Amino acid sequence: MTVSRDKTPTAQETFMQMAQAAGLRGRLLVTVGMLVLVRLGIFIPVPGINRQAFQAGLASSGLGGIVGFLDIFSGGGLSLLGIFALGILPFINASIIMQLLTAALPSLEDLQKNEGEAGRRKISQITRYVALGWACLQSTGLALAINQFADSPGPWFVASVVIALTAGSMFVMWVGELITEKGIGNGASLLIFVNIVSSLPRSLGNTIDLAQSSEQRSIVGGIVVLLLVFLAMIIGIVFVQEGTRRIPIVSARRQVGRRNYPERSSYLPLRLNQGGVMPIIFATAVLILPASLAQISFIASSSFYLSVTQALSPGSWIYIVVYLLLILFFSYFYSSLVVNPVDMSQNLKKMGSSIPSIRPGKATSEYLTKVLNRLTFLGAIFLGMVAIIPSAVEGATQVTTFQGLGATSLLILVGVAIDTAKQIQTYVISQRYEGMVKQ
């Protein structure tokens, strides 16, 4: 097969490498196998639970909306009360906590920036311990909440559920790290991706049933409008995810020995959305915390719990405002972790490069900070639009079969798909150069 070594791999070349290259094929098999294993664990029930009583109690309590929203990220494990009901959420919450602590504590910041690979491994280990503690906390709250639906309620049932859910969450976290290390793509993101995709057939089926059972033409028209909005959002997400600001860079003329190197020009790419899919995942995880804490604090039946759950229920105006503010905060926060203008300025100065009409050093870092802040703000505004528009269209068309599948899910699906496809393309390109070395 003839390939171009200077261009992006074609679809034919990518599929050929996936079928023929043992390394890429092995990584794909590991990824698919682990994802299937996690999906099977969703349907293994926790010990001693009466599912019929739980479903009836869930319907009568009015918490079905929140549980349905959480089911998008657990793949239905919460409503089914499977051993993987917590899924990857404790690890995501632990990652949020660690990133906040890294920015606040100089010792953790030193581990991340100055200790190299050993420091990153230490932070990863601490994150696992935090995830274990958070899984124990969440599983305890869930076990106490469903104790009344057990075949034999009591301390033994609570303890067995806590052990099962915590062990399941730790196993899912290990699977995510295994996919990241030996598979294709980011393990945690792919687990959420698969859980969201698993809910699509049910939403599509409910939408088809609604269109067939409704005699009003406005419902059918609303479904068409909603699908068109989703399509437009997907196209917009692709453009924003791929959008970059190219800052021109000029390398000074230099002489090494007797050889002269002429002046060269290149560019520094800054992404419009530096955080990618992470700000919206973090914002969603934070919005889940109040419901979890309310259950853990034994006030599930109090008026405070009902007011919190109603105020932060998907679709309410308080939920939308808080959601937007969290997206804006995490966009800037994650951008500050990914890109450091001071380090970029120092690296340019060491390489003898500079931005035209901008002095090296402090002036360069200030210029990059200004550009980065503007790009981050535009990216956060777009994420906010993605968060609001689908919910607003659902409310206007009265088509709620895709409830909770709008903003968060669209960005995660498209973002994870793009990142995974890029990793596959990177592996295919590396195979080209291996072939060149062998020749």
The confidence score (pLDDT) of residue 170 equals 92
* Tens digits of residue pLDDT in 151-192: 788 888 888 889 998 998 899 999 988 998 888 888 888 888
The confidence score (pLDDT) of residue 28 equals 85
Residue 247: φ, ψ to 5°: -95, 120
**245 has which bridge partners?**
270
Write down the mean pLDDT value for the chain: 76
* Tens digits of residue pLDDT in 182-193: 888 888 888 888
Residue 251: φ, ψ to 5°: -95, 130
User: How many Å separate Cα 404 from the centre of its chain?
Assistant: 15
* Tens digits of residue pLDDT in 242-260: 788 888 888 766 655 666 6
**What tokens were used for 187?**
């393990």
Q: What is the largest distance, in Å, between two alpha-carbon atoms of the chain?
A: 86
* Burial degree of 13 (CB within 10 A; 0-12, 13-18, 19+): buried
* Tens digits of residue pLDDT in 292-325: 555 544 445 556 656 666 666 666 777 778 888 8
pLDDT band at 7 (very low <50, low <70, confident <90, very high): low
Amino acid at 107: S
Amino acid at 311: A
Say how far apart CA 337 and CA 56 lie, in whole Å: 45
Which ranges of 21-63 does DSSP label H, i.e. alpha helix?
22-42, 51-61
- On whether the pTM is more than 0.85, the answer is no
pLDDT band at 382 (very low <50, low <70, confident <90, very high): confident
The proportion of the chain whose per-residue pLDDT surpasses 70, expressed as a percent, equals 73
209 and 175 in contact (C-beta within 8 Å)?
no
Domain architecture of the chain: domains with CATH: 11-438 (1.10.3370.10)
Residue 84: φ, ψ to 5°: -100, 30
Of 95, 91, 81, the closest CA to residue 165 belongs to: 81
